[in-house]
Copies of this chain bind each other. A is one copy, B any other.
Amino acid sequence: MTADNDKPELSDEELNARHAEKMRKKKAARDKIMATKTIEKGLLIVHTGKGKGKSTAGFGMVFRSLGHGHKVGVVQFVKGRIETGERMALERFSDLVTVKRMGEGFTWETQDRQRDIDAARQAWDAAKEMITSGDYRLVLCDELNIVLRYDYLDIAEVVEFLENEKPEDVHVVITGRNAKDELIEIADLVTDMTQIKHPFRSGVKPQEGIEF
Protein backbone atom coordinates (compact mmCIF):
# COMPACT_ATOMS: atom_id res chain seq x y z
CA MET A 1 0.00 0.00 0.00
CA THR A 2 1.15 3.52 -0.72
CA ALA A 3 0.83 6.45 1.68
CA ASP A 4 -0.05 9.08 -0.91
CA ASN A 5 -2.72 10.64 1.24
CA ASP A 6 -2.45 12.00 4.77
CA LYS A 7 -4.41 9.21 6.44
CA PRO A 8 -2.19 6.97 8.50
CA GLU A 9 -2.38 3.33 7.39
CA LEU A 10 -4.23 1.17 9.87
CA SER A 11 -3.49 -2.46 10.43
CA ASP A 12 -6.37 -4.92 10.17
CA GLU A 13 -6.21 -5.24 13.92
CA GLU A 14 -6.60 -1.48 14.43
CA LEU A 15 -9.39 -1.34 11.85
CA ASN A 16 -11.21 -4.17 13.61
CA ALA A 17 -10.83 -2.53 17.03
CA ARG A 18 -12.17 0.80 15.74
CA HIS A 19 -15.04 -1.00 14.08
CA ALA A 20 -15.96 -2.84 17.28
CA GLU A 21 -15.98 0.41 19.26
CA LYS A 22 -18.07 2.22 16.64
CA MET A 23 -20.57 -0.64 16.49
CA ARG A 24 -20.83 -0.82 20.29
CA LYS A 25 -21.87 2.84 20.26
CA LYS A 26 -24.25 2.28 17.35
CA LYS A 27 -25.92 -0.62 19.13
CA ALA A 28 -26.25 1.36 22.38
CA ALA A 29 -27.83 4.29 20.51
CA ARG A 30 -30.14 1.96 18.61
CA ASP A 31 -31.20 0.03 21.71
CA LYS A 32 -31.98 3.32 23.48
CA ILE A 33 -34.16 4.49 20.59
CA MET A 34 -35.97 1.17 20.23
CA ALA A 35 -36.77 1.12 23.97
CA THR A 36 -39.00 4.15 23.36
CA LYS A 37 -41.12 2.22 20.83
CA THR A 38 -43.77 0.62 22.97
CA ILE A 39 -47.05 1.03 21.13
CA GLU A 40 -48.75 -1.94 19.49
CA LYS A 41 -51.53 -1.21 17.03
CA GLY A 42 -53.07 -2.24 13.77
CA LEU A 43 -51.40 -0.14 11.11
CA LEU A 44 -52.72 1.55 8.01
CA ILE A 45 -50.04 0.89 5.41
CA VAL A 46 -49.89 2.43 1.93
CA HIS A 47 -47.64 1.33 -0.94
CA THR A 48 -47.71 3.85 -3.75
CA GLY A 49 -45.47 5.32 -6.46
CA LYS A 50 -44.72 4.47 -10.08
CA GLY A 51 -42.12 1.77 -9.43
CA LYS A 52 -42.58 -1.98 -9.23
CA GLY A 53 -43.05 -3.58 -5.84
CA LYS A 54 -46.26 -2.11 -4.44
CA SER A 55 -48.50 -5.17 -4.74
CA THR A 56 -45.47 -7.44 -4.49
CA ALA A 57 -44.56 -6.03 -1.07
CA GLY A 58 -48.24 -6.16 -0.11
CA PHE A 59 -48.25 -9.87 -0.86
CA GLY A 60 -44.92 -10.21 0.95
CA MET A 61 -46.69 -8.89 4.06
CA VAL A 62 -49.57 -11.29 3.46
CA PHE A 63 -47.19 -14.28 3.35
CA ARG A 64 -45.24 -13.05 6.39
CA SER A 65 -48.47 -12.80 8.36
CA LEU A 66 -49.65 -16.22 7.10
CA GLY A 67 -46.29 -17.63 8.23
CA HIS A 68 -47.20 -16.57 11.75
CA GLY A 69 -50.51 -18.42 11.40
CA HIS A 70 -52.56 -15.22 11.22
CA LYS A 71 -55.75 -15.18 9.21
CA VAL A 72 -55.49 -12.81 6.28
CA GLY A 73 -57.99 -11.32 3.85
CA VAL A 74 -57.22 -10.12 0.34
CA VAL A 75 -59.51 -8.00 -1.82
CA GLN A 76 -58.52 -7.37 -5.39
CA PHE A 77 -59.95 -4.09 -6.66
CA VAL A 78 -58.60 -4.45 -10.21
CA LYS A 79 -58.61 -7.93 -11.67
CA GLY A 80 -55.51 -8.85 -13.58
CA ARG A 81 -53.28 -7.54 -10.82
CA ILE A 82 -53.27 -10.54 -8.49
CA GLU A 83 -51.91 -12.88 -10.99
CA THR A 84 -51.45 -16.58 -11.25
CA GLY A 85 -48.24 -16.77 -9.21
CA GLU A 86 -49.68 -15.21 -6.08
CA ARG A 87 -52.96 -17.06 -6.45
CA MET A 88 -51.26 -20.44 -6.75
CA ALA A 89 -48.92 -19.70 -3.84
CA LEU A 90 -51.88 -18.67 -1.66
CA GLU A 91 -53.53 -22.02 -2.37
CA ARG A 92 -51.05 -23.59 0.05
CA PHE A 93 -52.57 -21.38 2.77
CA SER A 94 -56.24 -22.06 2.06
CA ASP A 95 -56.71 -22.73 5.79
CA LEU A 96 -55.77 -19.14 6.62
CA VAL A 97 -56.45 -16.84 3.69
CA THR A 98 -59.61 -15.57 1.98
CA VAL A 99 -59.19 -13.98 -1.44
CA LYS A 100 -61.92 -11.96 -3.14
CA ARG A 101 -61.27 -11.06 -6.75
CA MET A 102 -63.84 -8.32 -7.27
CA GLY A 103 -62.46 -6.02 -9.93
CA GLU A 104 -63.30 -6.35 -13.57
CA GLY A 105 -59.86 -5.64 -15.01
CA PHE A 106 -58.00 -2.46 -15.76
CA THR A 107 -60.31 0.38 -16.62
CA TRP A 108 -58.80 0.53 -20.12
CA GLU A 109 -59.67 -3.14 -20.55
CA THR A 110 -63.31 -2.92 -19.49
CA GLN A 111 -63.90 0.49 -21.15
CA ASP A 112 -67.10 0.59 -19.13
CA ARG A 113 -67.24 3.24 -16.45
CA GLN A 114 -70.49 2.16 -14.81
CA ARG A 115 -69.32 -1.45 -14.55
CA ASP A 116 -66.05 -0.26 -13.00
CA ILE A 117 -67.92 1.87 -10.46
CA ASP A 118 -70.21 -1.02 -9.51
CA ALA A 119 -67.23 -3.38 -9.18
CA ALA A 120 -65.37 -0.86 -6.98
CA ARG A 121 -68.40 -0.52 -4.69
CA GLN A 122 -68.75 -4.30 -4.34
CA ALA A 123 -65.06 -4.71 -3.61
CA TRP A 124 -65.13 -1.96 -0.98
CA ASP A 125 -68.17 -3.55 0.69
CA ALA A 126 -66.26 -6.86 0.81
CA ALA A 127 -63.17 -5.15 2.24
CA LYS A 128 -65.18 -3.38 4.96
CA GLU A 129 -66.80 -6.65 5.95
CA MET A 130 -63.40 -8.36 6.21
CA ILE A 131 -61.85 -5.52 8.20
CA THR A 132 -64.67 -5.32 10.75
CA SER A 133 -65.35 -9.08 10.97
CA GLY A 134 -62.82 -9.80 13.70
CA ASP A 135 -61.64 -12.79 11.64
CA TYR A 136 -58.53 -11.27 10.06
CA ARG A 137 -55.31 -9.82 11.46
CA LEU A 138 -54.38 -8.24 8.13
CA VAL A 139 -56.44 -7.20 5.11
CA LEU A 140 -54.80 -6.32 1.79
CA CYS A 141 -56.79 -3.95 -0.42
CA ASP A 142 -54.85 -4.49 -3.62
CA GLU A 143 -55.05 -1.57 -6.10
CA LEU A 144 -57.63 0.32 -4.03
CA ASN A 145 -55.70 3.50 -4.92
CA ILE A 146 -56.59 3.02 -8.59
CA VAL A 147 -60.34 3.14 -8.03
CA LEU A 148 -59.95 6.06 -5.61
CA ARG A 149 -57.93 7.94 -8.20
CA TYR A 150 -60.73 7.65 -10.76
CA ASP A 151 -63.26 8.62 -8.05
CA TYR A 152 -65.08 5.33 -8.50
CA LEU A 153 -65.16 5.37 -4.72
CA ASP A 154 -65.39 8.50 -2.59
CA ILE A 155 -62.12 9.10 -0.76
CA ALA A 156 -63.97 10.85 2.10
CA GLU A 157 -66.05 7.74 2.71
CA VAL A 158 -62.98 5.48 2.69
CA VAL A 159 -61.07 7.77 5.08
CA GLU A 160 -64.05 8.03 7.41
CA PHE A 161 -64.32 4.23 7.61
CA LEU A 162 -60.59 3.68 8.17
CA GLU A 163 -60.47 6.38 10.86
CA ASN A 164 -63.58 5.39 12.76
CA GLU A 165 -64.54 1.82 12.00
CA LYS A 166 -61.31 -0.09 11.45
CA PRO A 167 -60.74 -2.16 14.60
CA GLU A 168 -57.63 -1.09 16.53
CA ASP A 169 -55.84 -4.43 16.08
CA VAL A 170 -56.30 -4.98 12.32
CA HIS A 171 -53.54 -4.10 9.84
CA VAL A 172 -54.81 -2.74 6.52
CA VAL A 173 -52.49 -2.58 3.51
CA ILE A 174 -53.53 -0.45 0.51
CA THR A 175 -51.62 -0.54 -2.77
CA GLY A 176 -51.64 1.31 -6.08
CA ARG A 177 -50.03 4.34 -7.63
CA ASN A 178 -51.32 7.88 -7.10
CA ALA A 179 -52.43 7.42 -3.48
CA LYS A 180 -54.66 10.34 -2.49
CA ASP A 181 -53.25 12.89 -0.07
CA GLU A 182 -56.16 12.31 2.32
CA LEU A 183 -55.13 8.65 2.61
CA ILE A 184 -51.43 9.41 3.10
CA GLU A 185 -52.43 11.89 5.81
CA ILE A 186 -54.11 9.23 7.99
CA ALA A 187 -51.69 6.35 7.23
CA ASP A 188 -49.12 5.03 9.72
CA LEU A 189 -46.65 3.74 7.15
CA VAL A 190 -46.26 4.99 3.59
CA THR A 191 -43.65 3.85 1.09
CA ASP A 192 -43.33 5.35 -2.37
CA MET A 193 -41.92 2.76 -4.76
CA THR A 194 -39.83 5.04 -6.95
CA GLN A 195 -38.95 3.73 -10.39
CA ILE A 196 -35.24 4.00 -11.16
CA LYS A 197 -35.07 1.42 -13.97
CA HIS A 198 -37.75 -0.74 -15.58
CA PRO A 199 -37.09 -3.66 -17.93
CA PHE A 200 -39.96 -2.70 -20.29
CA ARG A 201 -37.76 0.22 -21.37
CA SER A 202 -35.25 -2.26 -22.78
CA GLY A 203 -37.95 -4.16 -24.67
CA VAL A 204 -38.30 -6.95 -22.11
CA LYS A 205 -41.80 -8.43 -22.00
CA PRO A 206 -43.86 -9.29 -18.89
CA GLN A 207 -42.46 -12.57 -17.57
CA GLU A 208 -43.77 -15.39 -15.37
CA GLY A 209 -42.64 -14.89 -11.79
CA ILE A 210 -41.76 -11.23 -12.44
CA GLU A 211 -44.91 -9.50 -13.63
CA PHE A 212 -47.40 -12.30 -12.91
Residues in A lying within 8 Å of B, measured CB to CB: 12, 15-16, 19-20, 23-24, 26-27, 30, 34, 36-41, 43, 45, 47, 49, 51-53, 55-61, 63-70, 83-93, 107-114, 137-138, 171, 184, 187-200, 202-210, 212
Contact = CB atoms under 8 A, between A and B. Distances in A.
Nearest to A107: B23
B200 A37 contact: yes
Given A20-B112, A63-B86, A189-B199, 4 more contacts: A24-B111, A64-B212, A67-B85, A191-B195
Given A43-B210, A87-B67, A204-B41, A53 B191 contact: yes
Number of copies: 2
B53 A67 contact: no
A188 B207 CA distance: 13
Nearest to A115: B16
Given A194-B192, A196-B192, A86 B109 contact: no
A12 B52 CA distance: 34
Most chain B C-beta atoms within 10 Å of own C-beta, residue among A23, A89, A203: A89
B39 A204 contact: yes
Nearest to A38: B205
A198 B189 contact: yes
B16 A113 contact: yes
